[in-house]
Amino acid sequence: MKTTTLKLVTIIAEDDIEARLVRDLKELGVKGYTIVNVRGEGLHGARDNAWEGENIRLETLVSSELADKLFEFLHSTYFPRYLMVVYMENVEVIRAEKFL
Amino acid sequence: MKTTTLKLVTIIAEDDIEARLVRDLKELGVKGYTIVNVRGEGLHGARDNAWEGENIRLETLVSSELADKLFEFLHSTYFPRYLMVVYMENVEVIRAEKFL
Amino acid sequence: MKTTTLKLVTIIAEDDIEARLVRDLKELGVKGYTIVNVRGEGLHGARDNAWEGENIRLETLVSSELADKLFEFLHSTYFPRYLMVVYMENVEVIRAEKFL
């Protein structure tokens, strides 16, 4: 069966920016995503409790080009102001045309 | 330490098919899985609200052969009838014999 | 934009060892993690219900060296006593210096 390689982009962020983040991702071309609440700690180690407690983990499947665009956008627009972890990886997807 | 490369298969689906999906995966040879509820949107963009709200995200570690078998099965049996996102990726696993 | 390849290490374990596991990971050098509760089954198939019900899924982004260290530690210290699934994969991270 034919599969397509896409980028799975994961964003871990504070839950109070969820609405803004989703709106921005959609404007950049994201068509689907899932969100789950997570707990955790640690962006700033012992010096900062901001990440203790409820955060969100958002995942979206996008083309390699859109993944790069998201990375540039998040790095320039969100990273100066918000605590956030962003990473991507390759995954093999069934019926990938839905996400492109 | 010796590790083994397995496929991590992720299935995002509507929560009302969970019982059937788990039963089918087990019949195909899946021995373990985790499920978390997720929210999200987007399989059909603005035309369809079916994915708004609660969905499940199921993950299972399987051999490459079983991953291919799951992909074929889901593509032929579930995709014609259900909204679903399915992807796989390679991961390095400790004590992998449990999953094979 | 410059990205860095890190290891995403995922640990699925019974929820009653969460506090101990987090403490041990921090002592080994982990600076950040997320946890979500998951349900599932399957480490021991039909012979064992220990994994039925609530488990945790912990994820942490670490250097390749620390990932190997975590694998060795978990394999030698936790695997003999606890039900646990551990795997890692490569991901591309923005602003990775925070995790090293």
Let me know: does C7 contact C62? Beta carbons within 8 Å: yes
Residue A90, strand partner residues: A7
Domain hosting A25: range is 4-99
A36 → closest Cβ in B38, B43, B87: B38
> Average of pLDDT values for A27-31?
96
Residues A36, B39: Cα–Cα separation, whole Å = 7
B92 → closest Cβ in C12, C57, C89: C89
Let me know: does C2 contact C44? Beta carbons within 8 Å: no
A92 → closest Cβ in B43, B85, B87: B87
Q: Which residues of C touch A40 (CB under 8 A)?
A: 32-35
C15, C38, C49, C77, best to mutate vs chain B, most B CBs in 10 Å: C38
Sort B15 into a burial class: Cβ within 10 Å, 0-12 / 13-18 / 19+: middle
Summarize pLDDT for A42-75 with one digit per residue, the tens. 654 433 444 455 899 999 999 999 999 999 999 9
Whether pLDDT at C24 is above 70: yes
| Average pLDDT over all residues of chain A | 87
Percent of the residues in chain C that have a pLDDT greater than 70, as a whole number = 83
pLDDT on residue A59? 97
> Average of pLDDT values for B84-99?
86
How remote is the C-alpha of C60 from its chain's centroid? 6
pLDDT on residue B48? 46
Cβ neighbors of C67 (< 8 A, separation 6 or more) are: C7, C9, C88
- Supply C85's token pair: 């699934």
Structure pTM? 0.90
**Cβ under 8 Å to A: C residues 27-46:** 30-36
Residues C3, B85: Cα–Cα separation, whole Å = 27
Angle A16-B34-A61 (CA atoms, 0-180°, nearest 5)?
A: 55
Whether pLDDT at C62 is above 90: yes
Residues C30, A57: Cα–Cα separation, whole Å = 19
- Supply A22's token pair: 């989703």
CATH for C22: 3.30.70.120
Whether pLDDT at A77 is above 90: yes
Q: Which helix (H) or strand (E) holds A25?
A: helix A18-28
Q: Reduce the DSSP state of residue B46 to 3 states and report it.
A: helix
Pick from B22, A10, B62, A54: nearest CA to C39? B22
Q: Do the Cβ atoms of B88 and A92 come within 8 Å?
A: yes
The Cα of B50 is separated from the nearest Cα of chain C by a number of Å equal to: 23
pLDDT on residue B83? 86
Let me know: does A94 contact B74? Beta carbons within 8 Å: yes
CA-nearest residue to B68 within chain A is A1
Our count of domains for chain C comes to 1
pLDDT on residue A8? 98
Answer with the residue of higher pLDDT: C83 or A51: C83
Let me know: does A41 contact A56? Beta carbons within 8 Å: no
Summarize pLDDT for B2-17 with one digit per residue, the tens. 899 999 999 999 999 9
pLDDT on residue B95? 75
pLDDT on residue A99? 61
| Average pLDDT over all residues of chain B | 87
Q: Do the Cβ atoms of B40 and A34 come within 8 Å?
A: yes
Percent of the residues in chain B that have a pLDDT greater than 70, as a whole number = 83
> Average of pLDDT values for B60-80?
96
Answer with the residue of higher pLDDT: C35 or A45: C35
Summarize pLDDT for A1-10 with one digit per residue, the tens. 789 999 999 9
